[in-house]
Each structure stands twice: as structure tokens, then as C-alpha cells.
Amino acid sequence: MSIQSAKDFITQIESDRTLQDRLKAAADDEARRQVIQAAGFDFTREEFKQAVAEISMAAGQELSREELDGIAAGAGRAGWCGIHAKPCKEHIPLS
């Protein structure tokens, strides 16, 4: 498991419509985890949160601890996309 795997996932999900569709169709957290692992990624929820935070900071968009927790839980700030690590109207939140 690694933060790099989470970053790679975020990069991949931006353009992989099939993976996006599989995640959207997943019924719950466990199903989403299985989809992510089947796609070759292995990271914890904490590693995902760290990857989102690092990408956000690199893009000049610092998140609060509450927003990071919300993103990892599938919520976050309104319109925030866990896939793109920025505001997005295209994707459902990842949990």
C-alpha cells in the first residue's frame, strides 16, 4: 500500500471511463475497494487522503482536515471531486 499508488489511481481515474463507471456502479465501500484493487491499485483510506492533500497543495488548493476527512468518506466540500482532487461536477464522491 502506498501514497504513490493512490496518486497513480487519481491520475488514472481522470481518463479511464470504464474504471469511473465501475466505481459509480459499486454498491458500497467494500465493492469500491475491490474495483480499485482489481485495477491494480493498493492504498488505504489514509493514503488516499494524503494523496489528495498533496495533489491539492501542489495545485494551490489547501484543504481543511474536515474536508480531507469528508473526501475520504465520500463527502467533502460541495462539488469537490475525489477523482480529480479539485471541484468537479462530473463524478460522484469516492468513499
What digits encode the pLDDT tens for the residues 5-37? 999 998 898 889 999 899 889 888 899 899 999
Rounded distance, CA 19 to CA 66, Å?
Answer: 27
Rounded to two decimals, the pTM is 0.64
Q: Is residue 67 part of a domain?
A: yes
**Where residue 4 falls among pLDDT bands split at 50, 70, 90?**
very high
Q: Is residue 43 part of a domain?
A: yes
Q: Is residue 92 part of a domain?
A: no
Q: Which domain holds residue 43?
A: 3-87
* Contact by Cβ (8 Å): 83, 12: no
Q: Is residue 8 part of a domain?
A: yes
Cell of 42: 493498493
Cell of 27: 454498491
- H or E element at residue 67: helix 65-73
Q: Is residue 71 part of a domain?
A: yes
Task: Judge whether residue 53 has pLDDT over 70.
Answer: yes
Q: Is residue 9 part of a domain?
A: yes
Q: Is residue 31 part of a domain?
A: yes
Cell of 39: 485495477
Number of domains in the chain: 1
**Where residue 40 falls among pLDDT bands split at 50, 70, 90?**
very high
Q: Is residue 95 part of a domain?
A: no
**Concatenated DSSP letters of 16-43:** -HHHHHHHHH--SHHHHHHHHHHTT---
Rounded distance, CA 19 to CA 23, Å?
Answer: 6
